[in-house]
């Protein structure tokens, strides 16, 4: 796997991409994965106060596998999610 680190003033990102994964994914899936990664990075910075985010991308013959983890504050999934996704 290839590893790459990028720094910004607010967050450090570690990216791991399985060899040849980009050739395995159809273009539509690849674009969808990029949108999910962008949203995960935005959420990590805005909501969790994350300082580090790790993104790992791999693929099987049938599915892409994306794992995002960070060192930010979490949330209690048992609490109500009514306001999740709302623009407040």
Its pTM surpasses 0.95? no
Residue-level pLDDT at 85: 54
The mean per-residue pLDDT over the stretch 48-61 comes to: 87
For residue 88, tell me if it sits in a domain. Answer: no
> What does the pLDDT read at residue 88?
46
Q: Given this model, what pLDDT does residue 67 score?
A: 93
Tell whether 75 is covered by a domain: no
Q: How many domains does the chain have?
A: 1
pLDDT of residue 55 exceeding 70, the answer is yes
Strand-pairing partners, residue 3, are: 16
Residue 16, domain extent: 2-70
| Across 74-79, average pLDDT | 75
> Is residue 45 in a domain?
yes
Domain assignment present for residue 80? The answer is no
* Contacts (Cβ under 8 Å, ≥6 apart) of 52: 11, 12, 13, 14, 70, 71
């Amino acid at each position: 796997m290839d590893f790459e680190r990028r720094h910004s003033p607010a967050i450090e990102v570690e990216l791991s991409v399985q060899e040849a994964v980009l050739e395995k994914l159809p273009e539509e899936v690849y674009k969808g994965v990029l949108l999910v990664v962008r949203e995960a990075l935005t959420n990590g910075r805005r909501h969790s106060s994350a300082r580090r985010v790790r993104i790992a991308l791999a693929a099987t013959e049938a599915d892409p596998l994306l794992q995002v983890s960070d060192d930010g504050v979490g949330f209690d999934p048992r609490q109500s999610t009514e306001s999740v996704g709302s623009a407040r």
